[in-house]
Amino acid sequence: MIIKDTLLRDLGRIIIWYPFRWGILLLSLSIVIKVGRIMGKIESLYNRKRIVIMGQNIQRALRCTPKEAHHIARLNLELHYIHLLELFKFPQLSTKNIDHFVELRGLEHLDSCLEHKRGVILVHLHFGTMQIPLIALGHKGYCMNQIGQREPDNNNLSFIHRKVALRQRLKIEATIPADIINIGMTSTLRPAFRCLEQNEVLMITGDGRGGANPVGNKYIIVDFLGQKTHFPPGPVTIARKTGAKMLPLFCFRLPDGRQRVEIHPPLPLSFGPNKELDIHTNTQLYADALSKEVTNHPEHWMFWQEFTPGLMICKEICFNKPSPKPHSEFNTGDLH
């Protein structure tokens, strides 16, 4: 989601991070979900510009009708606010209660790959509350690490954003049972290689231009949702250097309010003497895996606003082609 700081948003941050957050901590998860949905509905009513942009991008990618795209965009906003509120609950999660909040699937794939003793890369989209897999797997005893940018460019943030929202968020994230490899603070990826050498688990986002890129500012162009799209080469670059297995990971909202974390089997990566070809071929491999889940569950992907020419989509070369499945087969009502 693209969020610009305004005086109104800063006022909202003060309310959200203090009296509102304290109230959320007292509520059950089911009530928090309802509150998030109400907030998303309100946003969709007053912020028509965002809905229009998201709808246009959804139509371009999925070849659906304007009505269907509008419905997906509204559901997406509701899930966006639910994810934001769920952040407040992180300090309440523990080894004893994590199963009440998260359902884990595919641990057998993770365990099998860890037997190779070269570590595992979990590559994921901006699906669901992204820190939830870190928390759930960390509480299950896995040695978790994540490449990320814990502190954004403070020069672009308002005073209230820095001193209230960012500061409080960092306090909450400090309770996550995982090591965050903050690329905003260092130019080296040595901690990422080290954790894989120690046969630990490394989570890294595989989508998005404008997000954290673990290998500098370069992106490669792959086919994604029928568009020529910028993708970070970092996950494949790290896998090529370390021999770590790469497994796609997704988070879905269940009808009872919990999240389901799905770990898929390892991707059949293949490497040869041509580094550039390896990176492009294997990045396209996981882009295809990610594209399938976005096509099936479009309301769960939080980058629809950015999926436009000039941002995620390459402005110079973009094209349209039918999505892998007709929209009538989308599962837009069975998980959230």
Q: In this predicted structure, what is the pLDDT of residue 129?
A: 86
Residue 316 has pLDDT above 70, yes or no: no
Pull the structure tokens for residue 88: 């407040």
181 vs 193, more confident:
193
Domain presence at residue 1? no
Which amino acid is it at 125? L
Q: pLDDT-based confidence at 285, cuts 50/70/90?
A: very high
Name, in order, each residue with C-beta under 8 angstroms of 256's C-beta and a sequence gap of 6 or more: 30
Q: Running DSSP on this structure, what letter comes out for residue 92? A: G
Once rounded to an integer, what is the mean pLDDT over residues 208-233?
Answer: 75
Question: Which pLDDT band, with edges at 50, 70 and 90, does 244 fall under?
Answer: very high
Is 79 inside a domain boundary? yes
What is the maximum span of the chain, computed from C-alpha positions, in angstroms?
58
Tell whether pTM > 0.85.
Answer: yes
d(CA 308, CA 315): 8
Provide, rounded to the nearest whole percent, the portion of the chain with pLDDT above 70. 87
Q: Which residue has the tokens 């890294």?
A: 204
Of 35-44, 121-130, 196-205, which range is least confident? 121-130
Question: What is the model's pLDDT at position 64?
Answer: 96
Distance CA 24, CA 39 (A): 13
Please check the confidence at residue 261 and state whether its pLDDT lies above 80. Answer: yes
Is residue 38 one of the residues assigned to a domain?
Answer: yes
Greater pLDDT, 156 or 15: 15
pLDDT higher than 90, residue 305: yes
According to DSSP, the β-strands at 259-263 and 245-253 are antiparallel
Helix (H) or strand (E) holding 174, with range, is none
The 10s digit of each residue's pLDDT in 164-176 is: 988 998 899 899 9
In a domain, 171, yes or no: yes
- Residue 136 to residues 63, 109, 249, Cα–Cα distance (Å): 36, 16, 13
Of 90, 56, 83, nearest to 70 by C-alpha is 56
Q: Residue 194: which residues within 8 A CB-CB, separation 6 or more?
A: none
Tell me whether residue 61 is in a domain: yes
215 within domain boundaries: yes
The percentage of the chain sitting over the pLDDT mark of 90, rounded to a whole number, equals: 69
User: Looking at the domain assignment, is residue 197 inside a domain?
Assistant: yes
Number of domains in the chain: 1
pLDDT at 155: 62
Q: Are 73 and 51 in contact (CB under 8 A)?
A: yes
Give the confidence band of 45 by pLDDT, cuts at 50, 70, 90. Answer: very high
Q: Is the pLDDT of residue 325 over 50?
A: no
Mean pLDDT of the chain: 87
> Do 110 and 144 meet the contact criterion of CB atoms below 8 Å apart?
no
**Residue 318: pLDDT band with limits 50, 70, 90:** low
Is residue 20 over pLDDT 60?
yes
DSSP of 126-156: SBS-TTHHHHHHHHTT--EEEEE-SS--GGG
pLDDT band at 310 (very low <50, low <70, confident <90, very high): confident
Residues 194-207, mean pLDDT to the nearest whole number: 95
Chain-centre distance for alpha carbon 44 = 21
pLDDT of residue 162: 86
| Vertex 332 angle, CA 329 and 336, to 5° | 145
Residue 21 has pLDDT above 70, yes or no: yes
Can you give the pLDDT at residue 158? Answer: 87
Over residues 130-165, the pLDDT tens digits come to 899 999 999 999 999 998 765 555 567 888 988 898
Number of H helices, E strands in the chain: 13, 9
pLDDT for the residue numbered 135: 96
| Mean pLDDT on 296-322 | 82
- What mean pLDDT is predicted for residues 92-119? 96
Q: Kindly tell me the burial class for residue 244, based on how many C-beta atoms sit within 10 Å of its own C-beta (0-12, 13-18, 19 or more).
A: buried
Whole-number pLDDT of residue 153 = 53
pLDDT band for 187, please (50, 70, 90 cuts).
low
Model confidence at 213, pLDDT cuts 50, 70, 90, reads: very low
> Looking at the domain assignment, is residue 230 inside a domain?
yes
Question: Model confidence at 112, in pLDDT bands (50, 70, 90)?
Answer: very high
- The pair of structure tokens assigned to 310 is 């000039």
Three-class HEC string of 291-304: HHHHHHCHHHECCC
Its domain, for residue 313, covers: 7-329
